[in-house]
Structure 1
Amino acid sequence: MNAADDKTIVREYFNSTGFDRWKRIYGDGEVNKVQLDIRTGHQQTVDTVIGWLKDDNNLSQLSICDAGCGVGSLSIPLVEEGAKVYASDISAKMVSEAQDRAVAAFKNSVNPTFAVKDLESLSGDYHTVICLDVLIHYPQDKADEMISHLCSLAETRMILSFAPKTFFLSILKKIGSFFPGPSKATRAYLHREADVVKILEKNGFQIQRKAMTRTRFYFSSLLEATR
C-alpha cells in the first residue's frame, strides 16, 4: 500500500465509520472503556500543549495553525485563550463538526477559521504550527516530507505528537492491540523520536520541550521545537 492509498483510506475512514467513532471519543458522551482511555490520553496531550503555550504569556499575540484539527479539541480552547487559529483537517465531516462546536462556543465568531485540506496542501505563515496525533497515518518517508512542509509554514515554533516506535509498542502493534476495536480501519505508523528530531533539525528547529502521554491504549510523544 503506497502513501496515496493511505491518504485516501484515511479521508474515507474519517468521513464515514471513523467519524462516528472519533466524534464520540473527542466528545463528552458515554463511550466504552477503551474509547474513554483514548479520550483521556488525547486530552492530556491537548492540555500539555495548552499549558506550554500559556506558560509563554503571549497567546493573544500568536497566529496558530492547527494542522489536522479533528473536531476542534485543540483549536477551540486556543481561541478561548485568545489565540488567532487557522484549523484544517482532511475530513470534511470532522471540519463540519469542529465548526458546529466553535459556533456553539463563540456564536458568530470567525475565529477559528476552518478549512478542509490535507497537510501537504496547507499554505500561509504562522507563528506556531501544531500537528497532534496525525503522524500515525504517515510512513517514515512521507512523514519527512509532511513535517518539512509544516516547518516551512512556521515562523517560530513547531509542536508535533506521534506514536513512538519502541520495542513494546511495536509488539502491541504487531498483535493488533495498538488501536483495538472493530472500527479500526487505518494503518498505524510508529516513529522513532530520533527520526522526528532529525527532520526538525534539518529544517532549522531545535527541541525545547518534550512530554510523553501514556495510558493503557494511548501513547503519544510530544515535541516542541523553535528557531
Structure 2
Amino acid sequence: MQYVFQPQIQAIPVVGSDQMFPARRIYCVGRNYVEHAIEMGHSGREAPFFFMKPTDALLVVANGQVGEMPYPSMTNDLHHEMEMVVAIGKGGKDIAVADAPQHIWGYALGLDMTRRDLQGEAKKQGRPWDLGKAFDASAPIGPLHRVQDTGLITQGTISLTVNGEHRQKSDVKKLIWSVDEMIAHLSKYFELQPGDLIFSGTPEGVAAVKKGDLLVGAVDGLGELKVRIV
C-alpha cells in the first residue's frame, strides 16, 4: 500500500528521553478556573464543556528553546491563555473519577492562543468557535514530563509573563473541575485513546499580545514554555 502523500504526525518530545509522544486529538476545557469564568462573564460550577483543536495546530517548542508563533491573520485581538496540558497514555470510555489517574501519561505546558474578536463574534451568532480557536500554531506546547517522574499534579503555581510582566497567576488546585473529573466527564462522550491531549483550562488574566511580545509560561515542576509572537 502506498499513500497518496506522506501522512503528517505531530509528536512531542519527552523530557529525559529520546522518545516522541504522537498526538492524536486535542481537547480543551472552557472556563475551568473560577476567576477566569468571572472575567468572561460567568459564575458558578457549570458542567464542564469542551472544544477541540486539530493536532496540526500544535507549535512544539523544545526544552530551553523559544518558539516563534506567527501573529495570525484576520484578527486584531490575539489573546494568551496559559494552561497545564494532560497527556493520555491509556484509552477508555466511561472512566470512573477514581480510575482516571491510571490514564494519565504525563503533563506539559501549553498555550491556548485565541483570536478573541472572532470567538466573540461566533458566540454572539451562536456559531462554532473554530475560527477563534483552531487556527495554525494556536496551541504552542512544551515537552512532556512523564507522570512517573512528576507524580500526579494536583496543585502548584501556574503563571504567565509577557515581556517580564505578570499577566496570569493562580494555582492548579483552583481548577473548577479537577483533571480526574475532566477525564471522567470527557470519556462519557468520546472513547479516549493514547495520544490524546487535554488542555485543562486557563486562570484569570487573559489579555491581548502583539508582534514582538515574549510569553513565558510555567507550572511548578514543569519548567518554562517560551514563545515569541512574530
When you count strand as a share of all residues, which structure comes out higher? Answer: 2
When you count helix as a share of all residues, which structure comes out higher? Answer: 1
Same fold (TM over 0.5): no
Q: TM-score, normalised by structure 2?
A: 0.27
For CA contacts below 8 A with separation 6 or more, give which structure has more relative contact order: 2
Q: TM-score, normalised by structure 1?
A: 0.27
